[in-house]
Amino acid sequence: MDMLLQALSSLLTIESILTVLVGVSLGLFIGSLPGLTATMALAVLLPFTFSMEALQGLIALGAVYMGSIYGGAFTAILINTPGTPSSIATTFDGYPMARQGRAYEALAGATMASVAGGVVGVIFLLILAPPLARLAVAFGPAEMFWVAMLGLTLVASLSSGSLLKGLLAGCIGMMLSTIGVSPIGGETRFTFGFPPLQGGVELIVALIGLFVIPELLTMAAEGRGALPSGGEMRKRELSIGRIARQIFGKPVNLIRSCLIGQLVAIIPGAGGNVTSLVAYNEARRFSKDPSSFGKGNLEGVVASESSNNVMVAGSMVPLLTLGIPGAPPDAIILGVLLMHGLRPGIDLFTETGVLTNGFILSMGLAALMLLPVGLIGGRLIHRVVIRTPYYFLVPSIAMVTILGTFALRNSFLDVGIMLALGTAGYFLRLIGIHAAPIVLGLILGGIAEQGYVQTMLAAVADPVPWLRLVENPLSKVLAGLVLVGAASALIPIWLERSGRLAKVTDTTEANRNREGEV
């Protein structure tokens, strides 16, 4: 406790508060640009932190991290573009809300959810780090395979309309993930003899292409902006207070999403990219009115944004206790820790406890700072986006997209891949193959492949190798969850169908779907 107070006092200086404020704003800006990820934001900041004291440097990094994860929500809501992969699920309801003229409601909701999520994550980190870390390492290759399978059951809720087409999209995504160098085996795959393709299809490149370009093309074809201009902002009854009551009045959704965020965040390697999708899926599953999701339900935005901000501090659990980065940006923070001679482990909480606690608390401060920065910034950006005529908006967004895609890997080819996927995505959407399950496949393909092949390799000497997949208690539990998830996704569809078509007993359909799921 002493340590905590000491840490708090070292944090409450003008210098620290300013660092947090600047860090959060900077992170917000970078995170909101498609293509510029939290990892990149941290990498750019790294040289500046060398000249700072250990605590100040870490505070700056934590603040930028928090800001950039949150920043993704802006573009997700306003132009249907997740600025970072962690805000994919925010687009599902955020963008429909914006199209209905409720953009500010969505932005304010996202801000409050992010603040709540950020603070909850910090609390978890302060009091539950060691036991959570033990849980984190229980995820080995076999468990990761089941995590990926569990993720794939999300396809059912992501594919609006046809489940078959959703699964097809997921498979296309998984195939895209296999282009490049194979994670195990080290060979180049599907490069068609073209060296630059060894780099494969980067998730964020696909994400930008599949989400932004179809939106731009739609705007261009329709000859008008996607968001209704004016109106909304003047309505005073849409006060911050009302939105707050809506979110915190019935906090079940918020609490559930935070818990999910924390659980998923500690799974090394799956972390950030899936948290918001899982939380969204559960929010929908437990909602009284699941069909309103995807059409502008604030609960969807809240679930996504609260869970992904829990992830910021949440992924520090395995990092600070064991030195295992839970999400890509954590690798950079690990580098900084080591550089200052701080070795992750229990010493970090005892010997250098003041510093560690100061860092953790600063993330809480950063989360709180999101509230004013987010509400004011959100209002500004919202105004800019709806007032800008669409014929400026389309080339501007296109330019930022091209720059962001290029900046990711300094790759000219990536820009082409982004445009090609985006154009394809526009037409695929017309025939019912949506972007979200493709991206989901792309995220999970790599995780599934690695988990499966690693497990099989480890079991070379076993008589029945694939039994390794369900050897540990945790993998059994996860496999069970996959079955439950698949069933709960399929049974309602099947019931509805057999109810409506009472006379045609369509068992083949159900069988067929089950096949696809496994």
> Is there binding between residue 165 and another protein (CB under 8 A)?
yes
Choose between 121 and 271: whose C-beta lies nearer to another protein.
271
Taking CB under 8 A as the binding criterion, the range among 41-49, 244-252, 363-371, 485-493 that sits at the site for another protein is: 41-49
Direct distance between the N- and C-terminal alpha carbons of the chain, in angstroms, rounded to an integer: 49
Q: Decide if 233 contacts 103 (C-beta within 8 A).
A: no
Which are the contacts of 64, defined by CB distance < 8 A and separation ≥ 6? 23, 24, 26, 27, 30, 38, 41, 42, 45
Amino acid letter for position 317: V
> Is there binding between residue 410 and another protein (CB under 8 A)?
yes
In three-state secondary structure terms, 189 is strand
Taking CB under 8 A as the binding criterion, the range among 93-101, 232-240, 271-279, 328-336 that sits at the site for another protein is: 328-336
> Is there binding between residue 23 and another protein (CB under 8 A)?
no
Rounded Cα distance between 79 and 95, Å, is 7
* Window 145-164: residues binding another protein (CB under 8 A): 161-162, 164
Taking the complex as a whole, the smallest distance from the CB of residue 391 to another protein amounts, in Å, to 4
Answer for which of 52, 123, 217, 493 binds another protein (CB under 8 A) is: 217
Choose between 281 and 450: whose C-beta lies nearer to another protein.
450
Answer for which of 396, 484, 495, 496 binds another protein (CB under 8 A) is: 396
Choose between 8 and 228: whose C-beta lies nearer to another protein.
228
Rounded Cα distance between 83 and 321, Å, is 30
Choose between 45 and 313: whose C-beta lies nearer to another protein.
45
In three-state secondary structure terms, 396 is helix
* Window 335-394: residues binding another protein (CB under 8 A): 335, 338-339, 341, 343-346, 389-392, 394
Could you tell me which residues are beta bridge partners of residue 181? 188
> Is there binding between residue 290 and another protein (CB under 8 A)?
no
Answer for which of 450, 478, 479, 482 binds another protein (CB under 8 A) is: 450
> Is there binding between residue 402 and another protein (CB under 8 A)?
yes
Measured CA to CA in angstroms, residue 79 lies from 49, 207, 214, 344, 425 at distances of: 33, 13, 11, 40, 16
Residues touching another protein: how many (CB under 8 A)?
118
In three-state secondary structure terms, 267 is coil
Give the x/- contact pattern for another protein in 223-252, rule: CB under 8 A. Answer: xx----------------------------
Answer for which of 138, 244, 255, 380 binds another protein (CB under 8 A) is: 138
> Is there binding between residue 117 and another protein (CB under 8 A)?
no
Which two three-digit tokens encode residue 12? 């409450």
* Window 49-68: residues binding another protein (CB under 8 A): 50
Residue with tokens 């799956």: 270
> Is there binding between residue 448 and another protein (CB under 8 A)?
yes
Q: Decide if 68 contacts 31 (C-beta within 8 A).
A: yes
* Window 249-268: residues binding another protein (CB under 8 A): 268
Taking CB under 8 A as the binding criterion, the range among 32-40, 56-64, 285-293, 477-485 that sits at the site for another protein is: 32-40
Helix axes 54-79, 353-387, angle to 10 degrees: 30
Q: Decide if 70 contacts 31 (C-beta within 8 A).
A: yes
> Is there binding between residue 40 and another protein (CB under 8 A)?
yes
Rounded Cα distance between 70 and 305, Å, is 7
How many Cβ atoms sit within 10 Å of the Cβ of residue 285? 13
> Is there binding between residue 452 and another protein (CB under 8 A)?
yes
